[in-house]
Each structure stands twice: as structure tokens, then as C-alpha cells.
Structure 1
Amino acid sequence: MNQSVLKKLDWLLLPLIGVGVVLLLWQISCATWAKELPSPAKTWATSKDYVLKPFEKRGEMDQGILRFTWYSLTLVAKGYALALIIGTPIGFFLGLSKTFTKTFDPIIQVLRPVSPLAWLPLGLVLFLSAGKNASELGALFTIAICAMWPTVLNTAVGVRAIPQDYLNVAKVLKLSRTKTLFKVMIPATLPYMFTGFRLSLGIAWLVIVAAEMLTGRPGVGGFLWQEYNALIYEHIILCIITIGVVGFVLDRLMSVVERRFKTA
């Protein structure tokens, strides 16, 4: 196999080598100092039913891994959409108005670092009257308030970065405020907005796992927490791998969309 062919296969071969190294280190660890850690072979033997029958439902918290993933992704999609709907307009206001920035930027900087583990109990209290839907609404609240900040900040940066010449041309053409917004400002800001959208999606996926762990909802996080309490470490590893792979796929998909808008 010549060098040019190998170079073309780098995208596949190098990640496979990386996976092989991780598996080797994993095997060495469980054979030496981490005796309680299940080996790759044992993890597969114990977890294969969840992988080979990914959509099977045997009970509320005993389902195929892709079924759990679907539950989590459904809730993430709702919370993520809410984060974008709230965060994007706030970002535009921050970028357009110095008064708005001076008024609300300190509040944003205080709220932004708060952990989802701190927000979730507040979300549950806020929607306590919703009864059995309280956990879902609390999770949506937590996803939205944690995931929206990258969208807010990147949108604001994008609005401030719009060349003044663009706005001057809009004035010369006597475009209305609505047309200026949709024909000039939003297209000019899209690359920044999509950077924020991508970061927000990653945070939303992280938050849902924590939310499910705390509320015991069916999903990858809820399944992980149940197996932790049952001391079934093989299933914990399966959940960790699933969380990582899904996060990777979501990021890749979002990066493709982002590149398309940046080059459009």
C-alpha cells in the first residue's frame, strides 16, 4: 500500500489506532491496579443485549441503549430549541443596545457559571404544581438556562462585528427595520450565531444527562444512575461510551451545518 493511499486513510486509521490504545490501557488497568474495573471483554459480554437489541423495552428502566438515547435526545431537542428561542433575541439586544448591555450583562455574568446541578432543584420547585410533568419541565428549564449562554454571547459579538458599511447601505436603500434585520443583520451575524448554537448543543447534551440522573427519568442519565446504585459497572461504562459517541455525532452534524452557513 503506497504512501498516498495511507494518507487518504488517515481519517480512519489514526482514530482506530487511538481506540486500540485506549482499549489496551483499559485492559492493563483492570488487570493491575483497578481490579474492580470490568475488562473490555466483560463489559461487552454483560452489555451486549442492550446494544444488539437497542430498541427493546423490558421495563421502564430496562430498555435498549438506543431507546434510552432517544428519550434523552427528545428532551434535549425541546430544551435546546427553547435555549435558542430565548438566547438569540437576547444576544441581538445586547449587541444593539449599550443600555441593555449595561443593565443585563452583570446579571448574565452572575447566572452563566451556575452549575446545572444547582439549577435543577429550582426548576423542580418552579414546576411543582405540574405534578407528574414537573421533572420534565424542570429538566427543560435547566437545559434552556444552561445552554443559552453561548448563543447569547456569540450572537452579541456577531451583531457588534457587523461592518458599518452594511448598515449605511441599508440606510441609503431606505430599508425598513424589519428588512434591515432579515436582509442585513441576521445574514452577517449567522457565522457567530452558529458557533454559539454548536456550543449550546454540547452543553444541552451534558445537562440532560445530569438532569436524568437527579430525577430518575428514563434516558441514558437515568439508566446510568440506576446501574451505579446497583453496582453494575459494565452498564455504567456502556452509558459513558454512549454519551460520548452521541455527543461526538451531534457536534459533527452541527459543524457540517455551521460550515455550510459560513461558506454560503
Structure 2
Amino acid sequence: MGHGPNAASHSEGFPTPKQFLDAAWIQLREPFHDRGPNDRGIGWQLGASLLRVALGYGLAVLVAVPGGFIIGLSPLIRRALDPFIQILRPISPLAWMPIALYTIRNAEECGIFVIFICSLWPVLINTAFGVAAVRRDWLNVAKTLEVVWWRQIFLVLLPAAAPTIITGMRVGLGIAWLAIVAAEMLVGGSGIGYFVWNQWNNLSIANVLLAVLMIGITGMVLDLLFGFIQRRLTYVE
């Protein structure tokens, strides 16, 4: 089956703690090796997934935050778009995969699209909620002082709604990290999801367990990062 790190942890049945630690050591001592499409280190695969998440999630934030401001400031637009948001929001990210593969016809871009569509709704909804909940007397004071509309956004709306926006971004990133693993199992090629599926096909349960552990640790680190940002932006009126 080859002589790389993937070849050292094939075993029948569930691995013992020693087998797991041996397999983990082989992977972690050379995490960025690249010996071909089917033999790349777990660090390389994790980096590929994080890059996809960064692209899809970044696009979602760029669309959802301005969109949330528009929805939050206009009750008419909010009522008009709410039925569509409520229909699209519960759709599983994986349900979009066949449509994306048929229309986009590029596996890499399909993965990014899945991240975009699944992380869009939490950011959009929380941004709209945060903006709509801003005290109107603050905006009235700004209008009385003849503050132009774009300065009202940056001086009043954005600081007041920031904790809620960050909450939506935190939830959206968690969903994005969940979705990319499943999407990569279907799309293949690279990424931690592909690594899990490839190791399962190679009957390397120890490497599967290591990848699952790395997925959990990475998700925890991302969540802690946003938790830190959220605490810094939370204030008491």
C-alpha cells in the first residue's frame, strides 16, 4: 500500500491506544509531506480545508453584513425577504452539492459555495437583528446633529450591533467547519474531509480517529478565537 505515513497504521478492528499513538506520531512528525494526491500529510489537508473555509466564509460575511444592515434598517424589506430566508435557511449544505456540481462544474468552487451558503444565514439574520434592535434615540441624536448616513452606520449602528454580529459570525463559522468536512468527503481531492474518507478506504481507523480529533481541536480553536473577540466587543449599557 506504499511506504508513506498512510501505510503504517492499517489494522484489523479498532486500534489499541498504542496503535493510535504510533499512527499519530507518524502523521504529526511529518504533517506537511506531499507524495502525491493519495499521500499528503494531515497538516497539508487541514490547511486546504481552512483555506476553503476562509474563502467561502469570507464571501458570506462580505454579503451578509451589508445585507443584514439593509434588512435591519428597513421593516418593509425585512417582511418581504423573511419568507425566502426561512425557506432557504434550514436546507442542509449537502443538499446544495448536486445543484452546485451541476451548475458550477468545479469541485473546488463547489466546496467554497457550500461554505458560503451555509454560513450566510446566521451572519445575515444576527446582523439584521442587531441593527433592528439598536435604540432609535441614538439614531435620532445623530440625525439631530446632522451626522451623514454613512457616519451613522460606523459611529452608531456598527458599534451597537457589533456583539450580535460577532455572535452570528461565530455560529456561521462553526457551521462552515462542520459542512466543509462532509463536502470534502463528496468532492474529494484534498482537505481534512477527504483525508478521513481516504483513510477509511485504506482501513486506517487510527488515522481516521486522529483526523476526527484534529477536526475537533481546530473547531475549538476557531470558536475560542471568536469568543475572545466577542468578549472584547461586549459592553454594558
More helix by share: 1
Partners in 2 of 1:157 and 1:102 — Cα distance?
Answer: 13
Residue in structure 1 matching 2:63, options 86, 91, 101? 86
2:210 pairs with 1:223:
no
| 2:163–2:234 contact (8 Å) kept in structure 1 | yes
Partners in 2 of 1:137 and 1:64 — Cα distance?
Answer: 22
**Which SS does the other structure have where 2:35 is aligned?**
strand
Partners in 2 of 1:53 and 1:246 — Cα distance?
Answer: 18
Alignment of 1:213-252 (within 5 A): 213-252=185-224
**Which SS does the other structure have where 2:154 is aligned?**
helix
Match of 1:108? 85
Query: 39-48 vs 145-154, which deviates more?
Result: 39-48
Q: Which has the higher contact order (CA 8 A, sep 6+)?
A: 2
| 2:70–2:128 contact (8 Å) kept in structure 1 | yes
Following superposition, the deviation at residue 217 of structure 1 comes to 2.4
Ranges in structure 1 where 5+ consecutive residues have no aligned partner = 1-34, 129-133
Ranges in structure 2 where 5+ consecutive residues have no aligned partner = 1-11
Match of 1:99? 76
Following superposition, the deviation at residue 263 of structure 1 comes to 4.4
Instruction: Among all aligned residue pairs of Structure 1 and Structure 2, give the percentage whose two residues are the same amino acid.
Output: 42
Query: 74-83 vs 57-66, which deviates more?
Result: 57-66
Following superposition, the deviation at residue 248 of structure 1 comes to 0.5
Task: Please report the RMSD computed on the Cα atoms of aligned residues, expressed in angstroms.
Answer: 1.5
| 1:88–1:151 contact (8 Å) kept in structure 2 | yes
**Amino acid of the structure 2 residue aligned with 1:124:** L
**Amino acid of the structure 2 residue aligned with 1:86:** V
Partners in 1 of 2:97 and 2:189 — Cα distance?
Answer: 13
**Amino acid of the structure 1 residue aligned with 2:22:** A
Match of 1:118? 95
Following superposition, the deviation at residue 218 of structure 1 comes to 0.8
Query: 86-95 vs 168-177, which deviates more?
Result: 86-95
Residue in structure 1 matching 2:39, options 53, 62, 67? 62
Partners in 1 of 2:148 and 2:234 — Cα distance?
Answer: 26
Following superposition, the deviation at residue 61 of structure 1 comes to 2.7
**Amino acid of the structure 1 residue aligned with 2:27:** Y
Partners in 1 of 2:48 and 2:203 — Cα distance?
Answer: 23
Give the TM-score normalised by the residue count of structure 2: 0.90
Partners in 2 of 1:111 and 1:155 — Cα distance?
Answer: 17
Following superposition, the deviation at residue 63 of structure 1 comes to 1.8
Partners in 2 of 1:164 and 1:140 — Cα distance?
Answer: 38
Equivalent residues, number: 225
Following superposition, the deviation at residue 42 of structure 1 comes to 1.2
